[in-house]
Structure 1
Amino acid sequence: MTMVAPSSTLQRIELPTGTLELRIDSGATGVDELLGFAARANAKRGFLFLSKVLGKHWPASPRAMLAVHERLAATVPPVDGPVLFIAMAETAIGLGQGVFEAWLRAHPAQQALFLYTTRYRVGAGPLIEFAEAHSHAPRQFLHEPTDPALHALFMAARTVVMVDDEASTGNTFVNLAAACQRLNPGIERVHLATITNFMGPAAPGELDARFGLPATIGALVDGQFTFAQGPLPPDQGAAQRFEHDADRGASSAFGRLGIDHAVQAPTALATRLAGEFAPGSRVLVLGTGEFMHASTLLGAALQARGVDVVVQSTTRSPILTWGAVGHALSFPDNYGEGIANYLYNVAPGQYDHVLLCFETAPGPALFALADTLRARLFHFQSEDHVEEVPVR
């Protein structure tokens, strides 16, 4: 017989792809606000813990997202020396950058560097490759900073903080930490900051041995799960077509090559847009793929000006329409990989205004999506240069 702590809660979720059994040991009182369940169109893993505060698969309030960033930043233990923050693509890029910026606000005298993993090459600098084995797109990359000052900060880092929406096995974190250590043997400790930690109650005591370093974890929800695979989902086709020398138009300005400061919010743009919207208008600020955080900052600036706004992003993740996913759109990706991208829980006409934000050059895929959603297009060319692109 399995003994359950009095404070634990048990859930059994029957998905189209199998049966998920979940035990929540801490954070249960807020779990419904943080988490939903979905079925992946992925034979490697048939379930998804769908976060409601990432602004990815679910429309999220920018204010609620920023509050989560603050809470996770507060889990980082006191540290000496520079800190390297790494966010995990693609789902947690915005989360990780927000946690990094919240930590900077709380520790203005300390040095820190932010990078995020990616599935695109930017420039000709060296790449660190590692695997996310259960992913639909398993190859991930981390760019070494090419700016000398940022590279020196990378090499001086003594603590690595890795940020993701979920920790289930921890294997991807271990793979990435080992890759970073090979470049910077001076790394002394690891901290994991996740919305949900489902590695189980024994995991914290095992982290030091797994990483070969002192390691800690901070999460808003802790527990564990089992999943019994059911019928395999239909094949959704390739979710990744990496070509080593292909330029996909991904920007170097927002964190792929390193950044040591908070990204500027487009406040002038927010002020102009807020003045254009009729009172009571419902607004969606929509990021694209790995481009998430700058659009979130636009949403937060609009919300601060009284606009009824939510934030979300397109994704390459194939998810079935079930559970926390009530609607799905499929369309070509704007990075030109030739793979399907998706938008969940957004139907055409659902919002009065849709602001489609992107980092790549505008092209047919973006114009087609803008037409479907009756959206306006905003090209973020740098932190302080955002251009509205006329919709043809």
Structure 2
Amino acid sequence: MNARTDVPLPLRMPTQLSEQLPTGLLDVELHDGAKELDALLGFAARANAKRGFLFVSKVLGKHWPVKPQRMLDVHARLASGVPEGDGPVVFIAMAETAVGLGQGVFEAWLRAHPGRAALFLQTTRYRVGTGPIIEFEEAHSHAPRQFLHMPSGEPEQALLLTARTIVLVDDEASTGNTFLNLTQACLRLNPGFARVHLAVIANFMGQAATHGLTERFGLPATMGALLGGEYRFQPAACPVDAAPAQRYDAQAERGASTAFGRLGLARALRAPEALAERLAGEIAPAEKVLVLGTGEFMHASTLLGAALERRGLDVAVQSTTRSPILTWGAVSHALTFPDNYGEGIPNFLYNVAPGQYDHVLVCHETPAIDALHAFARDLDARLFHFHTEDHVEEVPVR
């Protein structure tokens, strides 16, 4: 029997949530995806005077351990929401939190569109190479300065300058300001961009702001998200850690690689299958494994974790971060250590305690400085220096 079209459909009532954080009161109204809320995110309190709360994604591989295939499934879902269009597509992942997410969405889109031209870039908080850069600001971030490098290769530059669609990927959208800043900068490089698509796990801009994206961006703009709603936050009168999370020095060499997306990639990264095969022969199937990315270096570690998972191991992936978060709510444990990029700022690992995993595999793009050795000893971990996707060196810890 066909449904009657003259009967009004019942209105879908939003889901209301209220969380009293140590830093203030967070009220959330969910319009879409409420059934997936617990599987997709939790709530935490940030030691940040600009924004005292955090939506902790459980499928991002940053602050919460997640199965690799679960992450790859999310990448495919977000890639499927990118509108069809003509011409090359540029995917830009927002550092540091969504670098792995963006690269995964890009690669999922490539798999679904064989033969189509696309370019991946990530924003970064490090200067690499000597080529031109775009600087823009993520105002609410604990480390607000971000950079987008011009691709170094001529084919990649051509893709950027002839692309018709920009896909900006982040874990969460709240105001859209950072997306707008970056889009305007990209339009100065390539006025031929005809569409922008925002791909996020959670869209908290609200329905009115989401529907008004096209007018605000000045070109057709769409949103793809697994959760949708809006929030209100009333800060409490409590002290926060105002320690800097960014010490930018244009002349400093931080060891950030040019091989994994900062200067543009027009193909998927290769998974380290030989390394995974060797490790799988050394690890018992019942043992728990954590594959840990470091800072902005996330996607290669996810590919290693997925390769181990395909070989039957019990694997979770996660990453260290520069974001200071209180141990409350979705963050039950915090480790602090010096950063491996040599900025002299604290870095953190959340929801991981020493001894929780039988094997911890730390993947890094930077040289193995003393901070990394100390971190590995604290976790009884092994260090793997990714010089390139095909050249991975295990660094002795002891």
| TM-score band w.r.t. shorter chain | over 0.9
The letter of the residue matching 1:85 is: F
Alignment deviations for residues 233-280 of structure 1 (CA, whole Å, 9 cap, x no partner): 422411000111211000000000000000000011111101111230
How far, CA to CA, are the matches of 1:175 and 1:63 in structure 2? 33
Residue among 211, 220, 225 paired with 2:217: 211
2:30 aligned counterpart, secondary structure: strand
How far, CA to CA, are the matches of 2:188 and 2:176 in structure 1? 19
Alignment deviations for residues 91-116 of structure 1 (CA, whole Å, 9 cap, x no partner): 00000000000000001121000000
How far, CA to CA, are the matches of 2:259 and 2:66 in structure 1? 25
2:289 aligned counterpart, secondary structure: strand
Identify the residue that residue 52 of structure 1 maps to in structure 2: 58
Q: Within 5 A, what are the aligned runs for 1:1-392?
A: 6-392=12-398
- Following superposition, the deviation at residue 231 of structure 1 comes to 2.6
How far, CA to CA, are the matches of 1:148 and 1:231 in structure 2? 53
How far, CA to CA, are the matches of 1:137 and 1:232 in structure 2? 21
- Following superposition, the deviation at residue 232 of structure 1 comes to 3.6
How far, CA to CA, are the matches of 2:60 and 2:240 in structure 1? 27
1:63 aligned counterpart, secondary structure: helix
Change (3 A) 1:233 1:99: farther
- Following superposition, the deviation at residue 117 of structure 1 comes to 0.4
The range that moved more, 245-254 or 227-236, is 227-236
TM-score when normalising by structure 1? 0.98
TM-score when normalising by structure 2? 0.96
Q: Is the 8 A contact 1:354 1:376 kept in 2?
A: yes
Q: Is the 8 A contact 1:113 1:153 kept in 2?
A: yes
Alignment deviations for residues 316-368 of structure 1 (CA, whole Å, 9 cap, x no partner): 00000000000000000000001000000000111000000000011101000
The letter of the residue matching 1:145 is: P
2:385 aligned counterpart, secondary structure: strand
Moved over 4 A (4+): none
How far, CA to CA, are the matches of 1:89 and 1:231 in structure 2? 30
Question: Please, which runs of 5 or more residues in structure 1 have no aligned partner?
Answer: none
Alignment deviations for residues 197-239 of structure 1 (CA, whole Å, 9 cap, x no partner): 0111112321111111100000000111100111344224110
How far, CA to CA, are the matches of 1:353 and 1:341 in structure 2? 21
Alignment deviations for residues 1-20 of structure 1 (CA, whole Å, 9 cap, x no partner): xxx95332100000000000
How far, CA to CA, are the matches of 1:243 and 1:338 in structure 2? 12
How far, CA to CA, are the matches of 1:348 and 1:25 in structure 2? 39
1:202 aligned counterpart, secondary structure: helix
Q: Root-mean-square deviation (CA), in Å?
A: 1.0
How far, CA to CA, are the matches of 1:279 and 1:194 in structure 2? 34
